[in-house]
Amino acid sequence: MPPRQRPAELRTRRSRPPAKGRGSPRGGPGGPFPKSKRKGKRKPSPRLADSGILIDVPLDWRRNLAALWLAELTAILGFSFAFPFLPLFLHQELHIPAGPQLSFWTGITGGATGLALAFTAPLWGRLADRYGRKPMLVRAMVGGGISVGLMGLAQSALQLTVLRGIQGASSGTVAAATALVATETPAPHLAWALGILSSAISLGSAVGPAAGGLAANVVGLRAIFLGGGVLLLLATIPVLFVVRESPRRVVRAAVPRTMDVLRTAAPGTIGALAVLIAAQGLQQTSYAAAQALVVLRLLQLTGATDAKPLTGITFAVAGIATALASVTYSRLLRRTSYRAVITIGAVLMGLALFGSGLSRNPGLVITGVQVGLITAGVLALMQAALVGIASREPLQRLA
């Protein structure tokens, strides 16, 4: 009877390759070491991971990236399949009259998601540090799928607002997937991997509105919310069965207090992080406002019938262009700096959105919003990368 082999997850870096001509390199009879040398050796304790020793488990980060790309594409497709048409849903299905009342409820339903996410994001971050990022990604997709599906059954603007708040509190797939890629990808490939992930997000944002606009004309606005929820639930399949997360160091180690971390940070780090976080907040506010208000603007200029396909076209073109930009921006960084690209992008985004607000031509409005959404997508990716560069453990937990 061949001797028992040590489980792969317990082979440490001190394991030696088999001697030439002795034993089986594949772990067959005889094992990787001669029988005589293995006598009396104990199997390593399963508590090695708890003792602070980093277990060397082979991890295919490219396979992880491919699975996360597919999962995020499907998840964002589910979100963007319905959300661009939220003002039209309020107007046509919930009978909110066009004008100030529709603008008010559009803002309320849009703000509920961001407000809930702002309060719950730190909690999900702490749980991710304790239990892993993969469970948090699955949780976000399931929570988003259930809440988006229920929106199709809403009977009032207040019910829709509550469900939007639940969706914001329970989802957050982009942040969870980005954190998983950032922690499992080797540093030399990190910028490229984040760009690939961002391309899935942008592509989903492009295909979703176009498909949703076509589907809304056939099956109605309520059905596209139900379809979006189903897509989000399907997105969990590649995460559950393909994605692997490497073991973490000392999972039960004491976490330093926030003030202690801030006191020991390198000079200038806190100021840089504060500026980056403020820039992220302003950029996300502009991005969210543009997404919601472009539908109201098109509804005002063209009417409800033409607003559906025009909304789909606007977000589809912007998503495709953002996907292309997200996988090529790293080449631009070889010739210039993050600061220069972010500054130029922010100015361009502001001018584009400002111009689209003044114009009464639907074509110019669509073009301005598309430019604004493209630059916003690339800016979000670069700002996240800069936060990662500026903060290192343990400060990275706070950022």
Whether 368 is covered by a domain: the verdict is yes
pLDDT band (50, 70, 90) for residue 251: very low
Whether 79 is covered by a domain: the verdict is yes
User: In this predicted structure, what is the pLDDT of residue 4?
Assistant: 52
Whether 108 is covered by a domain: the verdict is yes
Whether 25 is covered by a domain: the verdict is no
What is the rounded distance in angstroms from the CA atom of residue 59 to the CA atom of residue 129? 19
Whether 50 is covered by a domain: the verdict is no
Best CA proximity match to 339, nearest among 270, 256, 279, 294? 279
What is the rounded distance in angstroms from the CA atom of residue 183 to the CA atom of residue 217? 42
H and E: helices and strands count for the chain: 16, 0
Residue 318 identity: A
Rg (C-alpha) for the chain, rounded Å, is 25
Whether 309 is covered by a domain: the verdict is yes
The pTM score is 0.67
The more confidently predicted of residues 97 and 307 is 97
CA 245 to chain centre: 16
Degrees to nearest 5, angle at CA 116 with 113 and 117 = 80
User: In this predicted structure, what is the pLDDT of residue 252?
Assistant: 46
Show the domain range for 389: 60-246+261-398
User: In this predicted structure, what is the pLDDT of residue 280?
Assistant: 74
Mean pLDDT within 38-64: 51
User: In this predicted structure, what is the pLDDT of residue 43?
Assistant: 43
The more confidently predicted of residues 44 and 116 is 116
- Model confidence over 189-237: pLDDT tens digits? 887 888 888 888 878 887 888 888 888 888 888 999 999 999 999 999 9
Question: Do 33 and 150 contact (CB within 8 A), yes or no?
Answer: no
Length of the chain: 399
Whether 32 is covered by a domain: the verdict is no
> What is the DSSP code string of 266-301?
PTTHHHHHHHHHHHHHHHHHHHHHHHHHHHHHHHHH
Question: Do 34 and 23 contact (CB within 8 A), yes or no?
Answer: yes
User: In this predicted structure, what is the pLDDT of residue 261?
Assistant: 53
> What is the DSSP code string of 101-170?
HHHHHHHHHHHHHHHHHHHHHHHHHHHHHHH-HHHHHHHHHHHHHHHHHHHTT--SHHHHHHHHHHHHHH
Q: Convert 7-22 to b/e letters by CB count within 10 Å (16 or more is b).
A: eeebbeeeeeebeeee
Mean pLDDT within 127-149: 92
Split into its structural domains, the chain has a count of 1
Domain containing 345 — which CATH number? 1.20.1250.20
- Model confidence over 261-302: pLDDT tens digits? 555 555 666 777 777 778 777 777 777 777 777 777 777 777
Whether 339 is covered by a domain: the verdict is yes
The more confidently predicted of residues 323 and 112 is 112
The more confidently predicted of residues 212 and 394 is 212
Neighbours of 229 (CB within 10 A): 24
